[in-house]
Amino acid sequence: MILIHINNIPQSLTEPTSLAAVILGQNIALDSVAIVLNAEVVPRNRWQSILCQHEDKLELFSAVAGG
Amino acid sequence: MPNMSTNKQLYNGETVSGKTLSDADFMRYSRQVLLPEVGEAGQLQLADACVAIIGLGGLGQLAAQYLACAGVGNLILIDMDKVEVSNLPRQLLFNDGDIGLNKARVAKRKLNNLAPHCTVTAHETAFNAETHADQLADVLLAKQQGKRVLVLDCTDNFATRQSINRCCIEAALPLVSASIAAFSGQLFAVDQMQLPSGGCYQCIFPAQTRVSQSCGTQGVLGSSVGVMASMQSLVAMQLLLSMDSDCDKAQNSLLGHFWRFDAKSLVWTSAALTRDPHCNVCGSKELHPSFNMHSKLHSMEI
């Protein structure tokens, strides 16, 4: 069992899962968010190739463009 | 200690030996000059600096006031919008009598009163591929002259933010970007010359990103905008002041970070930026120090 945290909410994964698959599993469109993985922004091009590890902390957020 | 000369070494190897602050400037900026991180040399560097502020809305109008009043010598203000009544609760530089007038023009007039030693240039045009060469020519010229330069993104839409990012990468200009909508603020500083590993805005949010958050559609509190503008100004001041060897650590702690602010809980969250090697803005091509400033800059070079 792999336990991760998405925006401080615990979530368990039954098998190694990519960042992209985790986001899609949340019903979130890949082109609508950015990901911070363990306090580091992960460029979108790497989401398919990075598998979540036990105790990973993910933060998902959308772009804010107002000013 | 008025008219105290200094030999403090600047980032480009020159010194400010011989240059001194006037007695009046010592009085005006005394609270800043007292800081060891500023001092007389830092204040003189600010007077030489050139900062472009793109967008004179809630963020830009406050950042412009902070920087002008702090002694930044040259401000380039860029905005095509006019003051509207719905701006007034958060854009405190403007008042009812300014409604219908161009924001950059009004800001220039008011900053001339607030900070008479600041040279303010107003561009009443949109920032886009056709206009940016002319709008940023003075910044590029100052950079060529070894002065400290900075671009502040204070705009209100994603497309322009992408355009500003691309322009700063191509021209190798440092960028401090802030944004706010509803209760969510974002802030980051990138500089391809100082910290290329930090990547750029496109590495975080590629151009095809879907964006829904804007002040016009989601609303915002003026004080939330003020927090983001103050933080953006604080980052800008530190970058303008901290490029000498004494302050490398402070500078590096500001570049390459992405901060998010939750204006409900007042919690700031920081993350490190990483460059996307496949980024089509900063990842795959070399910098363009000879950025095509075809109009003003070229004529000045001749």
pLDDT, tens only, B198-241: 999 999 999 999 987 677 788 999 999 999 999 999 999 999 99
Grade residue B253 by pLDDT with cuts at 50, 70 and 90: confident
Res B216: pLDDT = 75
Q: Is the pLDDT of residue B251 over 70?
A: no
Q: Which residues of A touch B221 (CB under 8 A)?
A: none
Q: Is the pLDDT of residue A54 over 50?
A: yes
Q: Is the pLDDT of residue B39 over 80?
A: yes
| Nearest C-alpha in A relative to B217 | A66
User: How close does chain B come to A58, measured CA to CA in Å?
Assistant: 11
pLDDT in tens, B157-166: 999 999 999 9
User: How close does chain A come to B126, measured CA to CA in Å?
Assistant: 15
Say how many C-beta atoms besides its own lie within 10 A of residue B134's C-beta: 15
Strands (DSSP E) contained in B34-174 are: 50-54, 74-78, 119-123, 149-153
Q: Is the pLDDT of residue B301 over 90?
A: no
Among B80, B200, B93, residue whose Cα is nearest residue B135: B80
Q: Which tokens go with B25?
A: 């400037």
Res B3: pLDDT = 40
pLDDT in tens, B148-186: 999 999 999 999 999 999 999 999 999 999 999 999 999
What's the burial of B28, exposed, middle or buried (CB within 10 Å: 0-12/13-18/19+)? Answer: middle
Written as one string, the DSSP assignment of B157-198 is -HHHHHHHHHHHHHHT--EEEEEEEBTEEEEEEE-TTT-GGG
Q: Is the pLDDT of residue B128 over 70?
A: yes
Res B297: pLDDT = 37
Say how many C-beta atoms besides its own lie within 10 A of residue B222's C-beta: 15
User: How close does chain A come to B204, measured CA to CA in Å?
Assistant: 6
With CB atoms and an 8 Å threshold, state whether B206 touches A31. Answer: yes
Give the Cα separation of B260 and B263 in Å (integer).
10
With CB atoms and an 8 Å threshold, state whether B274 touches A45. Answer: no
Provide the 3-class DSSP secondary structure of residue B108.
Answer: helix
Provide the 3-class DSSP secondary structure of residue A25.
Answer: helix
**Beta-sheet pairing, B267-272 with B257-262:** antiparallel
Grade residue B286 by pLDDT with cuts at 50, 70 and 90: low
| Nearest C-alpha in B relative to A30 | B209
Q: Which residues of A touch B204 (CB under 8 A)?
A: 34, 41, 43, 63
- State percent of chain B over pLDDT 70: 84
With CB atoms and an 8 Å threshold, state whether A63 touches B260. Answer: no
pLDDT in tens, B52-68: 999 999 999 999 999 99
Written as one string, the DSSP assignment of B42-53 is HHHHHHH-EEEE
For A67, which of B156, B270, B276 is closest by C-beta distance?
Answer: B156
Q: Which residues of A touch B178 (CB under 8 A)?
A: 67
Res B12: pLDDT = 40
Among B52, B18, B45, residue whose Cα is nearest residue B141: B52
Res B11: pLDDT = 40
Domains and CATH numbers, chain B: 31-301 (3.40.50.720)
Give the Cα separation of B224 and B185 in Å (integer).
8
Sequence-ordered list of residues with C-beta below 8 angstroms from that of A33, at least 6 positions apart, any chain: A23, A60, A61, A62
Res B7: pLDDT = 41
Element (H, E) at B114: helix B103-114
With CB atoms and an 8 Å threshold, state whether A34 touches B213. Answer: no
Give the Cα separation of B250 and A28 in Å (integer).
37
Q: Which residues of B touch A63 (CB under 8 A)?
A: 158, 179, 186, 204-205, 209, 211, 213
Res B27: pLDDT = 96
User: Does the annotation count B200 as an active-site position?
Assistant: no
> What mean pLDDT is reported for chain B?
88
With CB atoms and an 8 Å threshold, state whether A41 touches B216. Answer: no
Domains and CATH numbers, chain A: 2-61 (3.10.20.30)
ipTM of the complex: 0.95
| Nearest C-alpha in A relative to B180 | A66
Q: Is the pLDDT of residue B135 over 70?
A: yes
Sequence-ordered list of residues with C-beta below 8 angstroms from that of B168, at least 6 positions apart, any chain: B151, B174, B175, B190, B192, B200
Among B206, B90, B66, residue whose Cα is nearest residue B150: B66
Q: Is the pLDDT of residue B50 over 80?
A: yes
Q: Mutate one of B155, B180, B205 to test the A interface: name it (highest A CB count within 10 A).
A: B205
With CB atoms and an 8 Å threshold, state whether B199 touches A43. Answer: yes
Give the Cα separation of B263 and B223 in Å (integer).
9
Helices B222-241, B39-48: axis angle to 10 degrees equals: 110
Give the Cα separation of B130 and B136 in Å (integer).
12
- State percent of chain B over pLDDT 90: 80
Among B70, B65, B63, residue whose Cα is nearest residue B28: B70
Res B283: pLDDT = 85
